[in-house]
Amino acid sequence: MNIKLVKSLLQSFLIFGFFVAFNSCADTAEKPNTTVTEKTTHPSDVIPFFDKFKLILGDGSNVGHPIDFENKDYFYTTNDGTQDWVVYKAPNAGNTHGTSNNIRTELGQSKKWSAMSNNKLTGTCKVMNVSPTGDARVAASYSVVIGQIHSADGHENEPFKLFYKKFPGHTKGSVFWNYEINTAGDDNSGRWDFSYSVWGYDFSVVGTDKNTYPAEPKDGIELGEEMTYEVEVKNGIMNLKFMSEGHETKTFTKNLIKSEYATKADMPEQVRNLFVPIGQDGVERANAYSDEGLFFKQGSYNQTNGKDPAVNRVWCSGAETHGGDVQKQYADGNYAEVWFKSATVKISDDAYSNEGYFAANDGLSKKIVYPNEVIPFMDKFKMLLADGTNVDDLVKYENKDFFYTVIDGTMRWVAYKAPNSGVTSKNSSNTRTELHEKREWTPKQGGKLSGTCKVMHVSTSGDARVAASYSTVIGQIHSGSGHENEPCKIFYKKFPGHTKGSVFWNYEINTAGKDNSGRWDYSYPVWGYDMSVVGTNPTDFPAEPKDGIELGEAFSYEINVHKGIMYVTFTSEGHETKTFTKNLIQSEYTTKADIPKQTQNLFVPIGQDGVERKNAYAGEMNYFKQGAYNQTNGKAPEKNMVWCSGAETYGGDIPKQYENGDYTEVWFKEATVGASTLPSKN
């Protein structure tokens, strides 16, 4: 064999082999193996206790046990450069769970347990964001709850809520925990929290106005700063421990089976300052949370919401929500985000199913609760809506524009809403969403109407010289015969820029003769002014009434007509109870000389100077009305300086009126109607 030929072939083979090998390596570097996939780290890989919990997301859904589960909007894992964390994220607005006003991405134990057994929850976390918008006067603004004990029974109250709160512009925030009383009785609307500071402030430290904040807490916790909490309940006693590097360890003990708030005298000063002014002044069951099933919750329960602070000045933050658009809220910081790197739970052997709690609360925020389920007398009434619709059957009926139910943070109310301009009844210039009693009765036969309400809004436009401007009627007696006049009209009125408004009631004479054009009202002040107090020019308002009622402040009235005599009683926490008596079957205004000075000043200048029938409303058929009868309209004041308000109406466009504050809204939580009763001698 030719030696030179063999060498040449061998060299060619080696060069070809090197070229193939080189290109093979190059191809491998440029085209990695596409069959290799990176494993997703689920929250259950980081904290392996999710078989003990169900997860509620910020869209209101219950996803069950979140094992091998994630949701990139609300619940997922992240790595901070050293280790994995579980992220819980909740916007200011989305879909809520149960009866809450607030959005949560939060675990809830699937079993509940007695306070007498031994149960423990721990968590090591850091809060990464709280909402930067809200009202600084509202205690819940800029805060998130990161751990709870919740009752699954009774009122479903919360003996433990762990908060983090940071005011805008501050570097450090506060950690505190609240104990919510387990209210005695069937009415839970008086429940309140007592707050214990851990690092920084407690819950009650708020701003002096919407955008003014207290000083930054010196011993507070920053966003992104780790802390650990331990909650253990054993033999009826709750033991709490809070730890964070560089901060003093804090411990607390609370008895969950024996109340320290069983009488009004036991109410702490903090509660008197924060909750009593909004009517939450209940007392606790003597045995507190004994005999109720309790369970742990953990995650991000955003306490900042978009509800108007006038609804509830403790819990309704008035924050930015972008109409519920989650991604827009995330884009500009209107959310709460909490990371956990570790957590444990210990559950007693006698714990039992908590399925009843989830069954009762899942989807509840989307369920329609009709007004007749809150106030069950709706079968006694028909209704005129502000768009002119007549409704004869109010059982299982609602209208989202005018007549529906709402939750104010403590309980459900029936809302009545009416714009400045809509479709009115045949003899009225004013728009109403108002009940009309089906039964009619004479003053001698009598009847009684009661209501507990709060006025949430009155028109912000109108002419200050016009007595009816900025007012709404929330209860009436109306005559169904004769001139169809009104022997009782209960008003609420608040001038723009004022905090407090006036409650007053008017008696309208039942004019003698066939001509009713001379009819007039006499107005009785309850709290604040009567109807005759007006401005000197269209935009000039009298001084704010010192003893007035604020928007969102609850008060009650009772109209009791017994054997021809009308007794009208008004009550409100922190205000003097007022009672009035008026004869409906014998007039005190039968001659021109009887016309009161108030009437001479207010009505006589516009030609309303009539006299009344001697027997007033005797023999006429009457009926009660209740709701929101908006007294502010768009008619020119030159037509009638008492009743024509000259307010903004946007040509009758109802959504525009609602958007710009040209409407009235009244909420009722209780109301009764029926036969008259013998008046109390007290």
Question: CB–CB of 190/139 below 8 Å?
Answer: no
202 & 318 share domain: yes
Alpha helix positions (H), 31-72: 43-46
| Count of other CB atoms within 10 angstroms of residue 341 | 18
Q: Quote the domain boundaries for residue 334.
A: 43-366
Structure tokens at 157: 């109250």
Clarify whether residues 639 and 517 are in a common domain: yes
Q: Which of 366, 397, 417 is the last residue of a domain?
A: 366
Query: What is residue 20's predicted lDDT score, i.e. its pLDDT?
Result: 36
Q: Are 144 and 130 in contact (CB under 8 A)?
A: yes
Does residue 195 sit in the same domain as residue 70?
yes
CATH of the domain at 429: 2.60.120.200
- What backbone torsions phi and psi does residue 629 show, to the nearest 5 degrees? -110, 95
Kindly calculate the radius of gyration of the chain based on its CA atoms and give it in whole angstroms: 33
Q: Is residue 14 part of a domain?
A: no
- The three-class DSSP label of residue 311 is coil
> Same structural domain for residues 323 and 412?
no
Could you state, in chain order, the average pLDDT of each consecutive group of 10 residues for the chain (682 residues)? 44 41 41 57 97 96 96 97 97 87 96 98 98 98 98 97 98 98 94 98 97 97 98 98 98 98 97 93 97 97 94 94 96 98 97 93 82 97 96 98 90 95 80 98 98 97 98 98 97 97 98 97 98 96 96 96 98 96 98 97 96 98 98 96 97 96 97 94 66
Identify the domain boundary among 336, 366, 396: 366
Q: Indicate whether 468 and 360 sit together in one domain.
A: no
Q: Which amino acid is at 26?
A: A
153 is a domain residue? yes
pTM value surpassing 0.85: no
* Total structural domains within the chain: 2
Same domain, 111 and 260: yes
Q: What is the pLDDT of residue 178?
A: 98
Asked whether residue 283 falls in the same domain as residue 407, the answer is no
In whole angstroms, what is the distance from residue 185 CA to residue 162 CA?
26
Task: Please tell me the total number of residues recorded for the chain in this structure.
Answer: 682
Closest Cα partner for 250 from 258, 242, 260, 262?
Answer: 242
What was the pLDDT predicted at 38?
66
- Which of 309, 332, 366 delimits the end of a domain? 366
Give me 132's structure tokens.
Answer: 């930067």
The answer to whether 648 touches 630, Cβ cutoff 8 Å, is no
Are residues 391 and 361 both part of a single domain? Answer: no
Same domain, 359 and 489: no
Q: Are 270 and 194 in contact (CB under 8 A)?
A: yes
In the block, tokens 């022997």 appear at 487
Identify whether residues 300 and 428 lie together within a single domain.
no
* pLDDT given for residue 37 in this prediction: 54
- pLDDT value of residue 444: 98
Residue 146: which H helix or E strand, with range?
strand 143-151
**Three-state SS across 319-333?**
CCCHHHCHHHHHHCC
CA distances from 205 to 17, 181, 512 (A): 79, 20, 60
Residue 652 inside a domain? The answer is yes
Residue 306: closest CA among 409, 393, 235: 409
